[in-house]
Structures are given as structure tokens and as C-alpha cells.
Structure 1
């Protein structure tokens, strides 16, 4: 363990290597030593081997989850406090409660707010420094007082004090001469007040506390009350029975408990506030995403988010001239950051389709907007479609998303539209091919589009749904139930396993 807490030894645990790398870089930048583990079992082993000062612990991990790892780490700490901060995407009340019951001292939801995390680490540093200072002081006092810190008071069967040690003088602020001969109630009035049997002041009351410890309130010489823990034993010396009372000042422990309770209250308030903000954000996003165009009778779609927010979006609109437009987009990542990335795409799509713009104009404008507004490393894969229901001509542009299919009335793929372009927001518009592919369709045809989250959806054994799963689910199914068949096939494939990435799909009836 460190001899000073200008830096800490931190054990970071996450089954996602990218998250671990980010945490490692962040913690080293703050000056801390970093240990890494990729699952709960490995975390316990690292802890036992290196005895770090603090643990940053993910919850959902293979081999052993974070809750069990926290319980084992806390059990191994014994009388040493090692803070555990849970870092998890799980943010429901039951997750918070279970984490605290497992031994967590704090909780931070993913995606991690590194400003908040740094503040929490500094708070833990101060607490650990206080703990270490108290431990050092305790060792010195034990050496000075021959390893005796607690007040040791002997009393006769009548409850009157016979002897005290130096710790008693220190704890109660009284010299020995003021205590010897007085009733035990002088030191502990609330616990031992009242007359016992046969009128002996406090004697039988002392006897009732033999064999177990009890908390009470002690009285200092200056009138101040403070919490103590009392243990009473009965001994016989030269055939004379005596009470031996051990009194421990637990003020510091109570302050620590109160601080922990305050931290838990603050954590709950932070969690509630975060939940409220997320719910507001969800409502705002739903209002932006669910436009009237998605209620078109020719369209069926689904978006499955891995978190509260999805980086996948779908949109549909009709121009005043009757042309039908559809968009399926997939931003890098998932969650709120990815959802925010696609908002400019939505705004441009609906504005330009109302103006009856071409697919090429749409792609150029969206790409330019993303190039100007998105940070490096952020981009949006997209499939954009326009159907002219009068001429039965269609146009499609695919950039970065999986292939789209034109299906015949039997659900067989007639035309495959592969991604021939990079995702939007990577290159300047004059460096990409913005020209869409043209196609025509026969009666009963449908157009199928989806994100890579559908193909990569894995079952419990790690087997991906893939293109074979998509085409197998719709082959030979009636057009009216084809979308439902695909949904059911995906649900059956996933079973109880959640999708690792956002999933979106669209099925459009070609009139």
C-alpha cells in the first residue's frame, strides 16, 4: 500500500479492452499506478496479489460478475477499507442497491463522465489519507500506551469505580483521582442510570451487560456527550468479584458511518437526477425520431437500442410531388453520444425531402454537414432510398451499411444493393461517389434494409445471425407477414442474450 496518497494504486476491471485502455490512460494521466483485470475472478486475484488502494469495477463481466467480485474483495479487506466504485451501464434502482449491498462505496454509470470520476477519486484519496493518518496515529498511541487504547475501568459489585487506566483519563478528560470511588454512572449516565436490585446503584445494571458489547453515550468532563462501545466482564480476584468494563470511543467510526450515509444519499440524489435527465432526453429524442412519415402504411420498421438511446435511426417522408423517401442510418457507437450524432442527419433528411430533392443532393448535403459538425472518428453509415410510385422507378445509395435487397413476391432477393461507398462524414463530398443506383420493381416487390447490428446479433454461443439468418427468415413467407417472420427469427436467435449493438431494419412495400 502507498505510504502517501498523492497517488494511488488503482485496480481497473472491465471485460471491454477498449474501456480498460481508456481508464488506464486516464488514471495514469492523474498520476496513479494502474492494475488491469478483464473479469471478476482475475480482479480478486490481482487484489490479493497487489493490495491496491482503490478498485474501479464493472458489473456485467464473464467468469465472475462485479457484485460477487466486490463481495470477495471486501471480505479480503478485513479491517482495512478499500473503496470500490462501480462503473456500469446498469442504472436501475435495483442495480444501485445490489451494488451497495455487495460492498460498493460509490457508483458511476456508463458512459463515464471523467470529470465526475476524477472528483470521486479525489474524494476517495482524501478519505484514504484520513484513514491512513488515523492508522499511523493509532499505531503510535498503541506503542506509547503499551498497546492499550481503550478505557479500562474496574468496579466493585456496588458499581463504584476502583481503578482506571491512562486511556480512561484521556477519553473522559478526567484525572484518575476524580473517578476512583465514584459511581460508574459518572462516565456512562444514560446506560447505567437508575438503581439496581437491593438498591445498589448501578451494580446489577453492570451485570446485565456481561458477555456482549453495547453502544451507548458517554459523558466527558466538559459536558460533551460522545458515542462509545461498552463491554463488561466479571472476574474474581482473591475471591472478590469485580466488574471490568472496556469502553471504546467510537466517535470517528460514527462520523465515518455518517459520511458514508451522506455519500449514499448524495449518490442516490445524483442517480435520481441523472434518471430524470435521461427520461427527459428520451422524450425529446422520441419526439424528434418518431415523425408522421414513419406511419406510412407501406413501411414496417424496428429499432432495438442496447441502451436508453440508439445510434441507429430510421426515417420516412413523402414529398409534395408524391415521391417516397426512406433513410436507415447507423452512427458510430451507441447510447446518447451516438443518438446525438444522427440528429443533424434527421433534420436535413426531412427538410430536403419536403423540397423533393434528389438522392444525390441528399447525400452531398448530409455528408457536408457531418464533415463540418462531427469530431474526428465519428461518422454515420446510411442507406437512402427514393421511390417514384408513378413511374415505378427507384434510386438507392448505400454507404457503410450492409447490403439492401429488392425482394420479389415470394421473398426471394431479386437485386442486391451492396455498399459501394464509405460512411458519411469521413471524406469531403467531392471525394465520394454520391450517385445512387437506379432500379425498377415488379408488382408485389419489397425493399429490405438493415444495420450491421442485425447481422452481428449473437446467440448465447456467439453465433451471429448473419445474412443467412436474414434471407432464411423471409424466404417463402407471405409479404404481409414477412416483417413479423424476420422479427421472430431474430428474437428466437438471441434467446435471452441481448444484442451487442443497436439493431434497425426496414421493409418497404413497392407499390
Structure 2
């Protein structure tokens, strides 16, 4: 037996116990479940009790013959097709006709040819399998139709309703029995002419007005398609209640207007904040001829800042700072740094004093998780020596007149605002320089700037850019190298560069 078919439950009926036993053995060998009965009356009872898939039914039996049993079995299985194969030694045509009229589906004469019986069982199995597939498919379609939220209605060419699903009853408030054979215009008046002939609306969603049973009107959206069943035009209409969508659209329009007002107000505030930030950032000290710098913001506002100032005693101060984050929050974070830097440098304070004061101010005012990395440098024009303190920013480079890196100043301290000033290392590093030297400072946005392949500019990019350049062209060479590396890509972080000519 082909195992591709599911096993069947078979009711075998014969008043001859020997024949019944042979049938039982044969059917079990084929993998089927077997239910036995010895007369027609018992067969009907067994059928109603076990609901088998197929019946092998002898004709000549006591109590109730096979013809009557077949009629009763067919009556009991009207919602489901159960094949009946009659088994009989009677082989006259009138017996065959009577058996088929009684409800039998096939006929096999005795003595039974088991090869033929097996072939008939296979045929019945295929038919049952197709029936089961069709039944499952129909049940699924009905379940889907009854559980979709949209009304699904079929009409004929004159607009007469043929079928409706459960959602139709819910949406329109009419029981299904009340809608069948009524006109579709009862529910959606605009659909009358389209269901009759208009082909322009098919397969296209359109909006209309629906009418509930209680007379209330509401907005709907519908789609119309046509099928042909037995040469009859049938229209399938899917109707969706869009009341909530219309309310949501109205609310969205109102929200959009409010958002536009808010956006315009926000833009005005940002422009004001931008002008104030520019005024705070672009102090006269940045105009010093010995200083070149560049700041590229990833948003309107930059968390990177540069600052420079001269003290009355001949000291030149410079600051490069990088606050956590981007945009306006980061820019606001560095404002206290700028204010303290310019105030204290005018008073000729030492690097150590600047570090302590700025750190303590940030520690007391900044939220947890917010801090400012910084490089602070002071050049003494009289002694030709300097001090530098780096916390969290990349290393600074001292470059000689020939473009060679002659000294590196690594970041040896935590960023400002993380720990209390009493716990931090506030001692700057002293250094001296040769004539023609320059000091280069930059933020980590320079190192992390990536090209189209994700390759970062890195320390090597900086070294290659300044190597062998003259003092006058060095900053431009570094700018060009960074721009070429980025190509069409935007930097992923704020970028700041500062190059200072040592006196």
C-alpha cells in the first residue's frame, strides 16, 4: 500500500464471519483501521457510533439487507461524503443499478478479487483526500472571511446581495438573513451603478458613505472586483469602516499644524542660540596671526570648542575642548569652560589653577555622565617655554620647522567634570621648543573620521599629512588630507583642529 495516503477507518459488513475475518486481515495489512458488523442494522449502528471513512457492505444479509443499510448510511452522512462499496455474489445489472440508486459508490462481485479491491480502495483514498483538502480550504476561507475586520459582500450584476460575512453584520448592524437578496444601495448608495456595469471602479479603492441600520451615516472605503461563476457575473465588494481613520487624519492635521508652529518657534530659538554661541565662541584671541583652527559641527551646534587669549604679562593661552554628545546639549556643556577660561587667563592664572577651577565648576554643575575632555596650553613668550595639560582629548604634537614630530604629549588625565578636583592630577607638563616649531591639538573626531569603506583617518593620517610640510602650508595640508579622506561622507563626530606657531 502506498504510504503517501492517510490510513482510513473502514466499516466492513458481512454476515459470513469467515469472509469478515478475511476482510479484516486484508484491510489491516493495508494499514487501515477496521470496524466490523454482521448485518445491516448493526452496520448502521456502528456507522453512527464510529463515523468511518469508507464502508464495505455485503448485500445479502439477515435483519437488514445491504440496500437498505446503504440508504440509511447515506442519510446519516449527508454533510460528508462516505464512499460505499457493495460486495455481493449477485452480478446482474438490476442488482448493480439498485445498489447505486441506494447510495452506493462502487460495486465488487464475490468472490472478492483483492487486487481489484485494493485498487478501488486507493481510488477512494485519493477522492477522500481531495475532499478533505477542499473541505479544509473552504473552512479556512470561511474562517478568514468571518474574522477579517472588513465587510465582504458578493452581489450579482443587478446589485442584489448574495452573501455577506460576519463583519458586514457588525459594521452595518443588519443580520445576514436580512441582507440576502436586498440591494447593495441599502448599505452604500454609490455602489448601485458600479455593481451593475461600471468597470472603471474595479480593483481600485474609493471612498463613499455607508448607512447603518439605525440610519447613521459614516465614511467607508471600498474595493470592487468581478469574477465569473458558471457564466454569471459576480461582484466581490470589500468595504472598510474608516471612521477612526478619518478622525485620526483630522487629528494628524491638527497635530501637524501645532508641530509646524512649534518647529518655527524652535527654529527661531535655535537661530538666536546660534548667534549667541557664535558671539561667545569667536573672541578676539582667536584672531591671533600665530593661530589657525577649524571646527566642523555634525549638527547646528558643536560640542567641540577652541579658545585663545593673551594675558597682560605676555602669556598666550589656548584651549581645545570636546563635550560629551552632539548639538545644543553638548554646546551648552562647554559654556562654563569658556567663561572660566577667558576670565582666568586675563588674570594670568597658571594652567594648574585653570584645570582645578574648571573641573570643580563642571563637577558641581554637570549631570552625571556629562563631562568635557580638554587640552589646555600656555606659552610664555619671554622664556620660550610652555605648559600643557591634557584630559581625555587625543595627544598633542610638537612639530619642528621641517614638519617632523619632535615631541608627543599624551593624554594622561581624566576629562574635566568626572572626579573632584582634590582627587585629580592637575599638574601640567612643561616643554620647550626650537625656532619655527608649531603645536598641533585636535579632538577625537579627527581620528575617528571615516571614509566610504569605514577606514578611520587616525594618528597615521595626521602624521602623513604634516610630514615634510612647511610651517606656512602645514594647516592647509592637514585640512586637505582630512577632506580628501572623508570624500562625500560626513564626519561622525564634531571635528576640531588647532595649530599654534610657537614664538
From 235, 241, 247, give the equivalent of 1:250: 241
Q: Which residue matches 1:206?
A: 196
From 262, 265, 275, give the equivalent of 2:256: 265
After superposition, the Cα gap between the structure-2 partners of 1:347 and 1:156, relative to the gap in structure 1 and judged at 3 Å, is closer
Partners of 1:488 and 1:380 in 2: how far apart?
A: 28
Q: 1:290-314, CA deviations, whole angstroms, 9 ceiling, x for partnerless residues?
A: 2222122221011233344333211
Q: Which residue matches 2:151?
A: 150
Q: Which residue matches 2:285?
A: 293
Q: 1:222-245, CA deviations, whole angstroms, 9 ceiling, x for partnerless residues?
A: 5432233253658788x9x77756
After superposition, the Cα gap between the structure-2 partners of 1:181 and 1:397, relative to the gap in structure 1 and judged at 3 Å, is closer
From 225, 231, 235, give the equivalent of 2:224: 231
The answer to whether the 8 Å contact 1:325/1:353 transfers is yes
The answer to whether the 8 Å contact 1:206/1:232 transfers is no
- Could you list the runs of 5+ residues in structure 1 that have no partner in the other structure? 1-138, 193-201
Q: 1:244-294, CA deviations, whole angstroms, 9 ceiling, x for partnerless residues?
A: 564624235744873795598379647666666555544443332222221
After superposition, the Cα gap between the structure-2 partners of 1:328 and 1:207, relative to the gap in structure 1 and judged at 3 Å, is same
Partner SS state of residue 472, structure 2: helix
After superposition, the Cα gap between the structure-2 partners of 1:285 and 1:244, relative to the gap in structure 1 and judged at 3 Å, is same
Partner SS state of residue 302, structure 2: coil
Q: Compare 262-271 and 305-314 and name the one that shifted more.
A: 262-271
After superposition, the Cα gap between the structure-2 partners of 1:231 and 1:416, relative to the gap in structure 1 and judged at 3 Å, is closer
The answer to whether the 8 Å contact 1:410/1:478 transfers is yes
Q: Which residue matches 1:360?
A: 352
After superposition, the Cα gap between the structure-2 partners of 1:322 and 1:175, relative to the gap in structure 1 and judged at 3 Å, is same
C-alpha deviation, 1:363, in angstroms: 1.7
After superposition, the Cα gap between the structure-2 partners of 1:358 and 1:185, relative to the gap in structure 1 and judged at 3 Å, is same
Q: Which residue matches 2:460?
A: 468
Partners of 1:144 and 1:331 in 2: how far apart?
A: 57
Q: 1:314-337, CA deviations, whole angstroms, 9 ceiling, x for partnerless residues?
A: 101122444321111223344443
Q: Compare 146-155 and 404-413 and name the one that shifted more.
A: 146-155
Q: TM (normalized to structure 1)?
A: 0.57
Q: 1:324-361, CA deviations, whole angstroms, 9 ceiling, x for partnerless residues?
A: 21111223344443333222111100111122222222
Q: 1:91-140, CA deviations, whole angstroms, 9 ceiling, x for partnerless residues?
A: xxxxxxxxxxxxxxxxxxxxxxxxxxxxxxxxxxxxxxxxxxxxxxxx9x
After superposition, the Cα gap between the structure-2 partners of 1:475 and 1:259, relative to the gap in structure 1 and judged at 3 Å, is same
Q: Which residue matches 1:394?
A: 386
The answer to whether the 8 Å contact 1:226/1:249 transfers is no
Aligned length: 357
Is it true that 1:374 corresponds to 2:375 in the alignment? Answer: no
The answer to whether the 8 Å contact 1:454/1:465 transfers is yes
> Greater CA radius of gyration, 1 or 2?
2
Q: Which residue matches 1:331?
A: 323
Partner SS state of residue 501, structure 1: coil
Q: 1:132-184, CA deviations, whole angstroms, 9 ceiling, x for partnerless residues?
A: xxxxxxx9xx7799679736475675x6x587869667655568999899876
C-alpha deviation, 1:482, in angstroms: 0.9
For residues 69-148 of structure 1, the aligned pairs below 5 Å read none
Partners of 1:218 and 1:329 in 2: how far apart?
A: 65
Q: Which residue matches 2:498?
A: 506
Partners of 1:366 and 1:425 in 2: how far apart?
A: 8
- Could you list the runs of 5+ residues in structure 2 that have no partner in the other structure? 1-138
Partner SS state of residue 378, structure 1: coil
After superposition, the Cα gap between the structure-2 partners of 1:147 and 1:367, relative to the gap in structure 1 and judged at 3 Å, is closer
Partner SS state of residue 341, structure 1: helix
Partner SS state of residue 480, structure 1: coil
After superposition, the Cα gap between the structure-2 partners of 1:230 and 1:322, relative to the gap in structure 1 and judged at 3 Å, is same
Partners of 2:428 and 2:455 in 1: how far apart?
A: 34
Partners of 2:406 and 2:393 in 1: how far apart?
A: 19
The answer to whether the 8 Å contact 1:230/1:246 transfers is yes
The answer to whether the 8 Å contact 1:368/1:428 transfers is yes
Partner SS state of residue 342, structure 1: helix
Q: Which residue matches 2:402?
A: 410
Q: 1:411-434, CA deviations, whole angstroms, 9 ceiling, x for partnerless residues?
A: 233443333433323343333343
